[in-house]
Structure 1
């Protein structure tokens, strides 16, 4: 069974993209009374505004993506056309069919079922889909080959969204899928954890147990650890065929190479986590092997595009090397802006995998280029992430 995970980067259905493009192409003016850029009869197109989480723009990014999704390598915003978006959709379809060919694929940052069908071969006729419509526009979805059978379960794991937070601060939930494959219960969990708390090796470090103030994303990720571990423990009770995959937004390889305790108090991660104690290493806490049978294996990851890429990926598991990261981003190597360190696959003892998970290169299709006199439509990159795939055996 070939499984894959891919973050498609604010991906919309073609119909939704048409609405988004129209709204971003429309003019805005600064309202002196509210301090917000608001839609107006004339003014500055949305493409030309300065975007960001707290940008003073009358725009709800939980409903539609910001207008700066597509950027050049120099980080200039690229205005999108309908023709360019249709072309990208077709390129995604070809890429999935020819370069990934998954039996099961977990998507992150897709708006819903139609957004997934738009990029699957033959409009998804050979796949079943597990989507959801709640929460915000950066949703999760599974697609799997029909011959694997109907879903036993397709459930939103709301606890990972931290429902006790204010609505504007809630993060993405998980999505759980269960299939009976050849009579064997197989469970999948698709995650897209809190961003911007990537590595303990960053400078300054993204310390998972740190406290850089109310806006520290590591404080949010810290709160997702218990619901993630709870899912793994509870869902491993009646099957060892478990796959947890997705965009962790955390370089767990760097955690494994960092010296020190799993928890701030040095207690055993197999014990219940005290409310006053913080976790320093996400991967060691959620994958502590208790109860028996819940231990997962973090699949090794390789970049078999060429020797330089593969060796670079190996070095980056234990170090932060900016020149290595730049090398992987080049189109002759992986070609994606977030080449390694964020996406991971873990498997239960019911599977064997003699080979590492593999990064699939986007190459030149990872680039976004502005329109020009010769090319009236821009070229849109497929994603800022490269897919990660693995072949699992019994």
Structure 2
């Protein structure tokens, strides 16, 4: 081949290359997950407060607490909602949501709720501005928008209105794009169970960002079966109601994960798992009671000991995830305790120390909330448990302060910076 011909080919290739679109630069986004603790919109809060101000009596025949019709009884704030109560769980929180440091219920006023909402709004705007928020325990879109800056102006919201009032929601900056799909996963709620044994469903949101599909999955699994290092966290204990229900959620969540991870390599799974995944990761025992491989279908009658190992077993390969490391960067105390809590059970005193306002401030600081990312997403930093400080405490009314002070949540938010 003559030199002139080689030169023409090279020039043509260079021109063609200049006409092809350049590879898209990775987009960095900030995501946050936060359980807002029975958060409802202002209108619902006002009705709820009025109902809890009302009197309740216990039916001597059925043992069910019911609104009083004779003007006698005790205020709803004094009713133990772990007992049987005649109540609309789809519309209203329980009356004993807000508790002081002694774990006594604090009655709520409209003025106190309005102040809590303003503090929550300011905290989100000033401390955890994010591109995508995953919220747990919210009543619906209006509750989410009231929590976001400027009434949620500039954000799109995906949520639902059925199931119980502890719902899930995803809010994202409208500039990221519209949702391709917003889908509830009812099987996680165990619809065949009695109503009182039905936990929350899952939520899946598809976003088209820079021409690529990003899928955001949010969960809030059954509570009170947290760690395999505790007797109360033994998933195979069929006599423990909470662990039995969480055990029932394992197959539905694995099926859901395999389905939702199948058509895109960019998936974020986050929320309140109510399970300490780090304790499971550091355990070396079998995943199942019969020792069989989690790669195979779960045999009938076999129980799962390790939720994380069963669901995230890298089979199929598309479900390979990274469990983001977690940090508590508020100060040296929080850093040390969070690091210790990754492999050990913290003592009661250590947990109380973490929940002090000088440290993280929230009553449930560790071991419940996680962020997982798929193979098409990267993160150069750990996820951070963000301190809520003085806003994590609830105080009853007093002569000097006729309205109580309400915590903005019993959880601390978790925030991560990701690269798509």
What band does the TM-score fall into relative to the shorter chain? over 0.9
Inter-partner Cα distance in structure 2 for 1:219 and 1:45: 34
| 1:20 and 2:48 aligned | yes
Q: Which residue of 2 aligns with 1:174?
A: 202
Counterparts of residues 57-136 of structure 1 (less than 5 Å): 57-136=85-164
Matching residue within 368, 377, 397 for 1:351: 377
Say which is worse superposed, 89-98 or 32-41, in terms of deviation.
32-41
Task: State the SS of the aligned residue for 2:318.
Answer: coil
TM-score, normalising length: structure 2: 0.90
Would the aligned equivalents of 1:28 and 1:44 in 2 still touch at CA under 8 Å? yes
1: CA distance, partners of 2:254 / 2:85 = 37
More displaced, 380-389 or 26-35? Answer: 26-35
For the pair 1:153 / 2:178, whether they are aligned, the reply is: no
Give the C-alpha shift of residue 48 in structure 1: 4.4
Distance between the aligned counterparts of 1:218 and 1:27, measured in 2? 34
Match of 1:366 in 2: 392
Partner of 2:215, secondary structure, is strand
What is the deviation of 1:28?
2.2
- Which of 207, 217, 222 matches 2:234? 207
What TM-score does the superposition give when structure 1 sets the normalisation length? 0.96
Structure 2 spans left out of the alignment, 5+ residues: 1-28
Equivalences, count: 390
Asked if 1:296 is matched to 2:325, the reply is no
Determine if contact 1:47/1:78 at 8 Å carries over to the other structure: no
Q: What is the Cα deviation at residue 47 of structure 1?
A: 4.2
Alpha carbons 2:90, 2:162 under 8 Å: kept: no
User: Retained in 2: the 8 A contact 1:47–1:77?
Assistant: no
Partner of 1:392: 418
Structure 1, unmatched stretches of 5+, are none
Partner of 1:236: 261
Alignment of 1:221-232 (within 5 A): 221-232=246-257
Change (3 A) 1:56 1:223: closer
Matches within 5 A, 1:274-353: 274-322=299-347, 323-353=349-379
Larger Rg computed on CA atoms = 2
Which of 81, 92, 115 lines up with 1:52 in the alignment?
Answer: 81
Inter-partner Cα distance in structure 2 for 1:126 and 1:251: 34
Aligned equivalents of 1:72, 1:222: Cα separation in 2: 32
- Offset, 1:209: 1.8
2:137 touches 2:165 (CA, 8 Å); kept in 1?
Answer: yes
Moved over 6 A (4+): none
The answer to whether the aligner puts 1:11 opposite 2:39 as a matched pair is: yes
CA shift digits 1:17-65 (9 cap, x unpaired): 0000000011223443443333235234434423133x14332334311
Contact 2:178 2:207 (C-alpha < 8 Å) held by counterparts: yes
1:80-103 deviations in Å (ceiling 9; x for gaps): 000110111111111111111011
Q: Is the helix fraction higher in 1 or 2?
A: 2
- Quote how far apart the aligned CAs of 1:233 are: 1.5
Tell me the alpha carbon deviations over residues 190-222 of structure 1, each in whole angstroms, 9 at most, x when there is no partner: 0000111111111x241112222xx52111111
Rounded to whole Å, the distance in 2 between the matches of 1:232 and 1:124 is 29
Distance 1:35 1:226, change over 3 A: closer
